[in-house]
Structure 1
Amino acid sequence: MVDQRPFGRTGVRISSLTLGAMNFGQRGNPDHEDGIRIIHRALDAGINAIDTADVYSQGESEEIVGKALAGGRRDEVFLATKFHGQVGDDPQHRGNSRRWIIRAVEHSLRRLGTDWIDLYQAHRPEPDTDFDETLGALTDLVHQGKIRYIGTSTFEPSAIVEGQWLARRRGRERVVSEQPPYSILAREIEREVLPVAQRHGLAVIPWSPLAGGWLSGRYHGGLDAPISRRADRLPARFDPTRPANAAKLAAVDKLAALADEAGLSLIHLALAFVLEHPAVTSAIIGPRTMTHLESQLGAAKVTLSRDVLDRIDAIVPPGTTLNPADAGYQPPSLTDPAHRRRGASSPHLAEDVR
């Protein structure tokens, strides 16, 4: 069975592994019945937290989760979903504004087949929208009983602190969790995000602990990269011919050898590493198949020795992200020349919302 840990200072406890539902639906596994079986197996194994988002397969993921929880299993689950990414063709159906949040939550509640969402998260920051506008709408939803807690995903440390400041100064409900990218290959959040979360008592539920599959055992030096729709869609993160990804591949080979020496699968090594950090509450696993789920469940019972952790640090030093594209979000101050150059126009930038 999977152990449970405190969810920040809320008094809630959730499993140290969270079932991520990103791969349920057309984006991953389109078989609804298979997705339901995977969810039920995870619940039976002791996982009590499920994370999805309205943008995953354009709402289909939420629908599959809702079907799986129908018939009496809703109460045993800490259910999290997210808003921000565009749903449908209407460009107004996105973002962190009050207008969209109030509408988006109703759609998510309907698809999930529930009267309340335990954790409602801003999927990404939106610098052009006043954070107080977002928190004001979310606070109203808490007071209405439609959501229980507020979370963020892939927010910068300054934004995390701003959320705590707004809660105190403006009387908003407090953000209680952050969902950042974190893996052996992407350790940047160790510099500030994790210490800030600890300082403010936030739960941390990292996404992509297997680095988008790089730590699943599928990638090996000297072999052709596995065929993946993500590789076609996100070459910056998955094209092995790019220098930053070649560096990841070299690290993966060393980590695979270390895992073998320690008598572990690479998957268990990777997940156990993320769970080792004292700031981490629960690592999000995103299986597409039952085999994927079974290969990850046992990681919650693995404890890495100090020697193994030291050797991981030698391969990928603390605070290091080998490929900046794996950071999940880059602020406009870095991506938009208009923020750095007088008179420059702002290009439309595509967003990778995991």
Structure 2
Amino acid sequence: MRGRKTLIEYRLLGRTGVRVAPICIGTMNFGNPTPEDEAARMLDWALDAGLNFFDTANSYNAGESEAIIGRALAASGRRHEVILATKAHYPTGPGPNERGNSRLHLLRACEDSLRRLKTDYIDLYQIHRPDPTVPVEETLGVLTDLVRQGKVRYIGCSTHPAWRVMEALMISAMKGLARYVSEQPPYNLLDRRIENELVPLCQAHNLALMPWSPMAQGVLAGRYHDAQAVPTDSRAALRGGIYAERVTAAGVEVGKRFVALAEAHGVAPAHLALLWVKDQPGITAPIFGPRTLAQLEAMLPVATMQLSDELRAACDELVPPGTAVVNFHNTSGWMRMRVT
């Protein structure tokens, strides 16, 4: 397939000049449960198809996701084709300074990610979560140093409240520091709360939005018929904890209605779930995390599909704009709004 691209319309990554595919490939599954050889095939296949945007994190499978990507890109010689995003914040060891957004930790974390990824630069380096114990000036300061050293091209954040994003933008402008170009929030039809503040903020200041969990962990793809009967190969079953919390009776009920809506319009539910996020106002590229090459191949058509006004309105009837029926911010540490 190499050299035969689909007719993908690339999108600018915020106010940068970087063009990325409208679907970002998430790699949390690389190393567990996706074996390395299949992950390498997925990377090659995606690039052949024109999907050039990949997201990982140093915390995914204790760094193994990054390591697999690094070995695969080194073997294929295709690093220059990739817009590669990774993240830091979560613990990388037992020590008190092996976590968070301090200068000490981020310098070490970046060097470790560069080593695992077998590259001398990271295209988009993101702060995985806010750290209320560290002044944002310190975090932006070290990110600025990494940019000036050429180790990082652009910086962004993930699952930050709108006010923290705005605070960082203001400090960057006031102090001449590197500026966030992106935010990576949870967003799907079951949890639309970012539409209230974060989306308008990103539109006003031209930040890219790369939402995670666009298919609501498969609930919107029709994988769940009962919140108590969890598929054995699902994230809710394999990882439990926060993932299991996101599978609720209310969410599954909306998921069933969503599946019926998609099928009535002749669209695969998984396609519609990803398409709905991709074509929402302000969105740059939803993050789709396939487990297998077959799953990746099946979702490629969404990159060139367009959401109709009729389907958009029908989805709004299921879950009104700005509301939620499931809490996908349950890892944020700052979202207090209850979901009933």
**What corresponds to 1:197 in structure 2?**
202
Q: CA deviation at 1:292?
A: 1.5
Alignment of 1:1-354 (within 5 A): 1=6, 2-26=8-32, 28-29=33-34, 31-70=35-74, 71-221=76-226, 224-227=229-232, 228=234, 230-231=236-237, 233-235=239-241, 237-238=243-244, 245-326=248-329, 328-331=331-334, 334=336
**What corresponds to 1:341 in structure 2?**
none
**What corresponds to 2:3 in structure 1?**
none
Q: CA deviation at 1:68?
A: 1.7
**What corresponds to 1:347 in structure 2?**
none
Greater shift, 87-96 or 66-75, is seen at: 87-96
Q: Is contact 2:191-2:328 (8 Å) kept? A: no
Q: Is contact 1:221-1:253 (8 Å) kept? A: no
Q: Deviations over 1:223-257 (max 9, x none)?
A: 822124534754565368xxx81110110000000
TM-score in terms of structure 2 length: 0.92
TM-score in terms of structure 1 length: 0.88
Cα distance between partner residues in 1 of 2:104 and 2:181: 23
Q: Is contact 1:58-1:88 (8 Å) kept? A: no
Cα distance between partner residues in 1 of 2:235 and 2:266: 32
Q: State the identity %.
A: 46
Q: What is the identity, as a one-letter code, of the residue corresponding to 1:252? A: G
Cα distance between partner residues in 2 of 1:222 and 1:150: 38
Q: What is the identity, as a one-letter code, of the residue corresponding to 1:78? A: I
Q: What is the identity, as a one-letter code, of the residue corresponding to 2:230? A: A
Q: CA deviation at 1:283?
A: 1.1
Gap change, CA 1:224 and 1:234, over 3 Å in 2: closer
Q: CA deviation at 1:213?
A: 2.0
Q: Is contact 2:230-2:237 (8 Å) kept? A: no
Cα distance between partner residues in 1 of 2:319 and 2:111: 43
Q: Is contact 2:187-2:328 (8 Å) kept? A: no
Gap change, CA 1:85 and 1:239, over 3 Å in 2: closer
Aligned length: 329
Q: What is the identity, as a one-letter code, of the residue corresponding to 1:230? A: A
Q: Deviations over 1:147-177 (max 9, x none)?
A: 0001000010000100110111111111110
Gap change, CA 1:76 and 1:237, over 3 Å in 2: closer
Q: Is contact 1:81-1:117 (8 Å) kept? A: yes
Q: What is the identity, as a one-letter code, of the residue corresponding to 1:187? A: R
Cα distance between partner residues in 2 of 1:239 and 1:188: 18
Cα distance between partner residues in 2 of 1:277 and 1:217: 21
Gap change, CA 1:313 and 1:77, over 3 Å in 2: same
